[in-house]
Chain A
Amino acid sequence: MRGILQILTEEWTTSLPGWVQALLRALLLVLPLLILVPGLIWLERRLLSWMQDRIGPNRVGPKGLLQPIADGVKLFFKEDITPSHIDRFIYFIAPAIALFPAFAIGGTLPWGPLYWLTPVADVNIGILYMLAISSLGVYGVVLAGYGSDNKYSLMGGLRASAQLISYELAMGMSLAAIVLATGSLKMTSIVYLQQQPLWDTVNILQNWFIFTPFGFISAVIFLICMVAETNRAPFDLPEAENELIAGYHTEYSSMKFAVFFMGEYAAMFVFSGVFAAIFLGGYNLLPIRWEVLSELAPSLAGFCRFMEWMNVNFSWLWFLGKCAFGICVYIWIRATLPRLRYDQLMSLGWRSLLPIAVTNFMLVALWMVVSRVYGPANGWISYFVGAIIFAIGYSNVTSASRRAKGDTLEQRGITMTDGGARRTIEVIK
């Protein structure tokens, strides 16, 4: 269905010369990131303070909305201190590298069904491209850590590189399950496939991957991994302030620090967008197939047509809303969970997320084969049976290894009594 905006923009954009079109699409890439990042900072501080029962910044402008601008002005006019023994080239290039991946990935986010609503190019290998570029983000952190000539910074960079390698794997495997199910690496065709009937049976709802069992598991793993890849709490070990002062950006001040800050928030935004596109139905407002609903309930036909029109014409708005939702989840996680210990971080990535993601991947393959040969119901049964077998085996293996290592609560001398009211904790060794 062609909406008014669609016709307007299609004819308007195709009548423009090529370089104007290119410029407009580049602005579509840059502007949301540049405009939204200060807003994100405000949102994070206000939301966090609300969650922690504080007030937060409320002095500059209405509700403190101008606080990011004030902060920005302050950062610009601060003295730019450059330490003396640094590796100057690496020190200066690191913030720029930190900013690069967010913008590079932002170029492939699908803001709507039209081709020009994908800012740069809807590349055929969209998901692989996303994985490839997101893995470059760590260079900014690692180089900042190395270039600052500071042990704390260096340790921050080291942690970041180890963390990224560990979580990149689980992220890739969780996305591989989705790619296997859709048969496409292209962002828009993944969104398109999410508009099909839910589980291939419920005609009225859309098949957003977060509603399917394998998609839900993938979504949880991807969410954890994306928090880890953007170095956000509870995975912000590279900048753990109680251990490493400020980690990799200890030696950075003024503008260069602001660039790191911006890179982090832009990455948050972009990863939320990727999450929305792959798991939350992309630019669709609600997981309802309006044209099917209007056939089922003719009395609602007008409403359905209106909703369909809204869905097509304001696709960018719904996508933006889903990005905002993702960012709120980021902030929510930060407000809720304490920072992980380093060994916990590693064992979460390697011993929990990776096996679960790989198993999910294999079960999706099983589900596809069985449902193609024996029908969809048998496919789901085989998926769940496989998942239960894995869960039993996995819990056996982990508890056995914990027993072998002497890591159970009893062996560590910790006895928990009922309700946690009385705890006796003895420290062994």
Chain B
Amino acid sequence: MLPEQITPGLLVFAAMGGIAALAALGVILFPNAVRSALCLVLNFFVLAGLYFTLGAELLGITQIVVYTGAIMVLFLFVIMLLNLAAPQQLNEKGDIKKPLGVVMGLGMLALILAQLQVAIGKDFGPRSEANFGTPEVVGRTLFTLYAFPLEIVGILLVVGIVGSILLAKRKI
């Protein structure tokens, strides 16, 4: 389970993983929604780096384009739009739910961790081919073996676009 020796790769992972974990905590701990969003941006950015360390370079860059570049900008846009309209709306008050939620989360963490101890033995190793994440390989698989799911996802995206336009229109 634990690594035998400390390698440079492990140190890099520790740094990136630490930033990602702290940023994830920041998302739920900052009362201010913009700061939460910023933490999430940082988290996604570091995750892209982790994807690179796993060898999935296309997905790493797609992560930056899709998540930090588009989705989080959209989030910030909406937060700021609501902030402009009603600055006091987005502040939160304390609640009984909070400690309960934390306890439940910790319980879930412990349960899954106990399962993982059994499930992941030592025999897992980085055994994929070195080029398994390059655009060529991913594209070839995506457009042959996974062509049908890809089309379905395309339809889903179109439906999403039409739906969000309908939601945003004041009068149809």
Contact = CB atoms under 8 A, between A and B. Distances in A.
Physical contact A–B (CB less than 8 Å):
yes
A161 B68 contact: no
A155 interface: yes
Contacts of B34: 87, 90, 143, 146
A162 B77 CA distance: 7
Interface residues of B, number: 24
Contact of B76 (A128, A131, A133, A142): A142
Interface string B83-119: 1100000000000000000000000000000000000
A142 B73 contact: yes
B38 A90 contact: yes
A341 to B, nearest CB: 19
B76 A136 contact: no
A343 B84 CA distance: 20
Interface stretch (B5-13, B58-66, B122-130): B58-66
Contacts of A124: 57, 134-135
Contacts of B155: none
Interface in A126-175: 128-129, 131-133, 135-136, 138-139, 142-143, 145-146, 151, 154-155, 157-158, 161-162, 164-165, 168, 172
A30 interface: no
Contacts of A312: none
Contacts, number: 77
Contacts of B76: 139, 142, 146, 161
Contact of B61 (A90, A125, A138, A143): A125
Contacts of B64: 132-133, 135-136
Contacts of A237: none
B149 interface: no
Given A132-B64, A154-B83, A154-B84, A138 B73 contact: yes
B80 interface: yes
Main DSSP-derived SS at the B contact region: helix
Interface in A24-38: none
B73 A165 contact: yes
Given A132-B69, A142-B80, A154-B80, A90 B35 contact: yes
A143 B34 CA distance: 9
A75 to B, nearest CB: 27
A185 interface: yes
B27 interface: no
B73 A164 contact: yes
A125 B135 contact: yes
Contacts of B32: 87
Given A125-B61, A133-B64, 20 more contacts: A90-B34, A128-B58, A128-B62, A132-B64, A132-B65, A132-B68, A135-B64, A135-B68, A139-B41, A139-B73, A139-B76, A142-B73, A146-B34, A154-B83, A158-B80, A161-B73, A161-B74, A162-B77, A164-B73, A165-B74
